Amino acid sequence: MATRIISEEERRNEWLSADDQPLYEARKRIYPQRVSGYFRNVKWFALIVTLGIYYLLPFVRWDRGPNAPSQAVLVDFPSSRFYFFFIEIWPQEIYYFTGLLVLAALALFLMNAVAGRVWCGYLCPQTVWTDLFLLIERWVEGDRRERIQSDESPWTFTKVRRKTTKHLLWLIVAWWTGGAWVLYFADAPTLVWQLATFQAPAIAWISIGVLTFTTYSLAGLMREQVCTYMCPWPRIQAALTDEYALNVTYRFDRGEPRDSLKKSEARRAKGLPSGDCIDCNQCLAVCPTGVDIREGLQLACIQCGLCIDACDNVMEKIGRPARLIAYDTDLNIQRRLQGKPEIYKMFRPRTILYAALIVVVGLVMVSALVLREDLGVNVIHDRNPVFVRLSDGSIRNGFTIRILNKELESRFFAVRVDGLTNADVEVVGAKLQGNGQAIVEVGPDQTREVRLLVTLRHAPPESSLPIVVQVTDLAGGHSAEARDYFRGPGHEEGGKR
Ligand code: SF4
Ligand code: SF4
């Protein structure tokens, strides 16, 4: 049988019939142009504030006394604590993070209901770092036109030098981003010194390496692809939005029919209809995600407002009113076309609900923080054996009690067991007061475990007797208690509590 040799292109054409589409669209390289204006300034402000906080916060000190770290924000894994200025979170209080996540989600919903993807356009780390990387790119390689020309031209010494400089600067920023992250997990000045002298632990180097790679890849190489293809938020927010949410919108009621400035002026001179858009494509040139907003609201649009600035600059130059592109709604466009007044509804059921939930969750968290106890106690019953029969016939139960001292100084606690009559109570390692009261010392901001032995001279008639273990601070009088059961032989015989 004759073998037909086909070219690569023929083979592809055989696979792709006229109706077939490739599974993945080839990436179109985007060269965002520099732009100035109100929204650009808002974005610079957001960038400086957010990056300033991120890079500098680990160096802010907070005096908590001699027995606690002096870093304002610290995730202290060795002692299982999270410090945030005057707040100290213990492992048992991890639910505060749940509250914070709920608050963050509600804030995102509220932002979305008011003004679309404000988070994406101004505050999202991907946006902020991409902005920073673009700034470096422009500084090294020039603005849009120069970068396009450079990429289309053959490799020269200047081109290699510029590309190398850009990538080196990106790597330095990415490295410092990873470096700042690990400073939240150790005393920042100490760790900086250890990094500078190559004495830092391996985990610090590994973490910085991973974050350097992710920052460089996401903000330098992948950029808008992260927002368009990887991030789930655009899909979620599309389901959460409504007709009153403000979005960056091309006001086609004003812009169409569009034409070049020359033709547009000629049409106007003849009294023919002509829109304000002069088809200059400046809005598209500045867009960091390559969106032409005149085609309507799109998934890739991060609502950064830069196209508003670009168009406003054009309108100012040609003497037409600003805000041909603006934060607006399709509903208002339709109403203007119908000669009806615009509607802006900031206060509507969903925004009121989100705001109310933010207030309620915030108040619950603040109250929980203000009212939380500065001591705690947990009791764990021995499992094997559950009880011991002593040689004189009495029954003994063993427990481990864990006392939490959340104050930054040592405290003495009296331990008491209630619920049993004629029981002998022994706290192993405790000091005894004159009245036989067991006293346990717990160091500052520490947890201490002690053994508690409770003995009854006669086997209890019930399988289990409820007990209350109470610890009381000798100085302040505060107390905490935990409940458990004293178990006897009936327990083995299948008796219930
Ligand atoms: S910048 Fe304004 S005038 Fe120019 S194409 Fe965009 S919408 Fe039209
Ligand atoms: S279309 Fe406008 S608002 Fe949307 S991402 Fe592009 S520049 Fe930003």
Tokens of 493: 């015989």
Contact 399, 380 (CB under 8 A): yes
Q: CA-CA distance, 18 to 41, in Å (whole number)?
A: 47
Q: How far apart are the first and last CA of the chain?
A: 86
| Residue 497 pLDDT greater than 60, yes or no | no
Q: What is the pLDDT confidence band of residue 495, given thresholds at 50, 70 and 90?
A: very low
Contact 479, 470 (CB under 8 A): yes
User: Cα torsion at 71, 57, 225, 150 (round to 10°)?
Assistant: -130
Q: How high is the pLDDT of residue 20? A: 61
**pLDDT per position as a tens digit, 330-378:** 999 999 999 999 999 989 999 999 999 999 999 999 998 888 888 989 9
Query: 227, 289, 297, 309: which to mutate for ligand 2, most atoms within 8 A of CB?
Result: 289
Please state the rounded mean pLDDT for residues 474-484. Answer: 90
Q: Whose CA is closest to atom 5 on ligand 2? A: 301
Residues near 20 by beta carbon (within 8 Å), at least 6 away in sequence: none
Q: How high is the pLDDT of residue 2? A: 42
User: Cα torsion at 242, 246, 250, 255 (round to 10°)?
Assistant: 100
Q: How high is the pLDDT of residue 73? A: 96
Residues near 55 by beta carbon (within 8 Å), at least 6 away in sequence: 176, 180
Instruction: Report whether residue 304 contacts ligand 2, using a CB cutoff of 6 Å.
Output: yes
- Mean pLDDT rounded to a whole number for the chain: 90
Please state the rounded mean pLDDT for residues 4-13. Answer: 54
Instruction: Report whether residue 307 contacts ligand 2, using a CB cutoff of 6 Å.
Output: yes
List the beta strands (DSSP E) in 54-204.
73-76, 81-84, 87-89
Instruction: Report whether residue 302 contacts ligand 2, using a CB cutoff of 6 Å.
Output: yes
Q: CA-CA distance, 479 to 470, in Å (whole number)?
A: 7
**pLDDT per position as a tens digit, 109-156:** 999 999 888 999 999 999 999 999 999 999 999 999 999 999 999 999
Question: Quick check: helix, strand or coil at residue 339?
Answer: coil
Q: Whose CA is closest to atom 8 on ligand 1? A: 277
**pLDDT per position as a tens digit, 300-321:** 999 999 999 999 999 999 999 9
Please state the rounded mean pLDDT for residues 100-111. Answer: 94
Q: How high is the pLDDT of residue 48? A: 97
**pLDDT per position as a tens digit, 440-458:** 999 888 889 999 999 988 7
pLDDT exceeding 70 applies to what percent of the chain?
Answer: 93
Write the DSSP assignment of 389-425 as a string of letters. Answer: E-TTS-EEEEEEEEEEE-SSS-EEEEEEEES-SSEEE
Q: How high is the pLDDT of residue 51? A: 97
**pLDDT per position as a tens digit, 151-177:** 999 999 999 999 999 999 999 999 999
Element (H, E) at 193: helix 188-196
Q: What is the pLDDT confidence band of residue 492, given thresholds at 50, 70 and 90?
A: low
Q: Whose CA is closest to atom 1 on ligand 1? A: 311
pTM: 0.81
**Cα angle, residue 488 at apex, residues 483 and 492 outer, rounded to 5°:** 110
Ligand 2 atom at minimum distance from 303 CA: 3
More confident residue, 495 or 351: 351
Q: How high is the pLDDT of residue 17? A: 55
Please state the rounded mean pLDDT for residues 265-292. Answer: 94
Residue type, 196: A
